[in-house]
Structure 1
Amino acid sequence: MAAGDGNLELEAVRISLRGRLLLDIDAAIEAGSVLTIRGPSGSGKSSLFALLAGFLDPSFTASGKAILGGRDLLALAPEKRGVGLMFQDALLFPHMSVGRNLTFAIPAVRRGRGLRKAMAENMLEGLGLAGTFDRSPMTLSGGQAARVSLARTLLSEPRLLLLDEPFSRLDAALRPEIRELVFREVATRRIPALLVTHDAHDIPKYGKVIEIGG
Structure 2
Amino acid sequence: MPDGIRVGLELRDVRIALDGRELVAVDLTIAPGEVVTLMGPSGSGKSSLLGHICGTLPDAFDVSGQVVLDGASLDRLPPQDRHVGILFQDDLLFPHLSVGGNLAFALPASIKGRANRRERVEKALKSADMGGFADRDPATLSGGQRARVALMRVLLSEPCALLLDEPFSKLDSGLRDQIRTFVFDLARKNGLPTLMVTHDPEDGEAAGGRVIKLG
TM-score class, shorter: over 0.9
Amino acid in the other structure paired with 2:87: M
In the alignment, which residue of structure 1 is the partner of 2:56?
Answer: 55
CA distance in 1, matches of 2:45, 2:121: 35
Matched, 1:24 2:25: yes
- Say whether the 8 Å CA contact 1:6–1:192 is kept in structure 2: no
In the alignment, which residue of structure 2 is the partner of 1:211?
Answer: 213
Q: Deviations over 1:173-211 (max 9, x none)?
A: 111111001000010000001101111111145300111
CA distance 1:93–1:205, change in 2 (3 Å):
closer
Matched, 1:154 2:155: yes
In the alignment, which residue of structure 2 is the partner of 1:143?
Answer: 144
CA distance in 1, matches of 2:5, 2:81: 14
CA distance 1:187–1:193, change in 2 (3 Å):
same
CA distance in 1, matches of 2:170, 2:78: 31
Q: Deviations over 1:120-150 (max 9, x none)?
A: 1000001100110000000000000000001
Q: Deviations over 1:89-143 (max 9, x none)?
A: 1110001000000000001011111111100100000110011000000000000
CA distance in 2, matches of 1:19, 1:171: 39
Deviation, 1:160, is 1.1
Deviation, 1:3, is 9.1
- Say whether the 8 Å CA contact 1:88–1:169 is kept in structure 2: yes
* Local SS of the residue matching 1:110: coil
TM-score (norm 1): 0.95
* Local SS of the residue matching 1:26: strand
- Say whether the 8 Å CA contact 2:9–2:69 is kept in structure 1: yes
Q: Deviations over 1:42-97 (max 9, x none)?
A: 11111101101011011101111111111111122211101111111111000100
- Say whether the 8 Å CA contact 1:96–1:136 is kept in structure 2: yes
Q: Alignment identity in percent?
A: 50
CA distance in 2, matches of 1:212, 1:201: 16
In the alignment, which residue of structure 2 is the partner of 1:110?
Answer: 111
User: Within 5 Å, which residues of 2 pair with 1:1-214?
Assistant: 5-203=6-204, 204-213=206-215
CA distance in 1, matches of 2:21, 2:132: 51
CA distance in 2, matches of 1:3, 1:35: 23
CA distance in 2, matches of 1:45, 1:169: 18
The answer to which of 200-209 and 37-46 deviates more is 200-209
* Local SS of the residue matching 1:144: helix
CA distance in 1, matches of 2:176, 2:208: 18
CA distance in 1, matches of 2:207, 2:163: 18
Amino acid in the other structure paired with 1:157: E
Amino acid in the other structure paired with 1:136: D
Deviation, 1:5, is 3.5
Deviation, 1:4, is 9.0
- Say whether the 8 Å CA contact 1:4–1:191 is kept in structure 2: no
> Once superposed, what is the RMSD of the aligned Cα atoms?
1.4
- Say whether the 8 Å CA contact 2:8–2:161 is kept in structure 1: no
CA distance 1:121–1:208, change in 2 (3 Å):
same
- Say whether the 8 Å CA contact 2:37–2:207 is kept in structure 1: no
Q: Number of residue pairs matched? A: 212
Amino acid in the other structure paired with 2:35: V
